[in-house]
Amino acid sequence: MLLSEMQEGQTGTVAHVGGNGILRRRILEMGIVRGADIHVEKYAPLKDPLELIVKGYHISLRVEEAAQIVVENVR
């Protein structure tokens, strides 16, 4: 499942970070790496961006950036 398809309140484990170049590096530097647990805290009123919790930090990503991240074990 893509991170952009997850609903508010769901948690999953990062399986793969796609993209290339600067975008991929930026996502990895924020701690969104393979094996990390990621929680969707909430979506903005217009559904873009979304707020995530990764390793105890709150991070905002655009939906198009979140579509580059594959998540498994969604609960």
CA torsion 11→21→30→49, rounded to 10°? -60
Per-residue pLDDT, 20: 87
Q: Does domain 3-72 have CATH number 2.30.30.90?
A: yes
> pLDDT tens across 16-75, in order?
999 888 999 999 999 999 999 999 999 999 989 999 999 999 999 999 999 999 999 999
Per-residue pLDDT, 75: 93
21: three-class secondary structure by DSSP: helix
Residues in contact with 10: Cβ distance below 8 Å, sequence separation at least 6, in sequence order:
39, 40, 74, 75
What the block records as the tokens of 25 is 């590096």
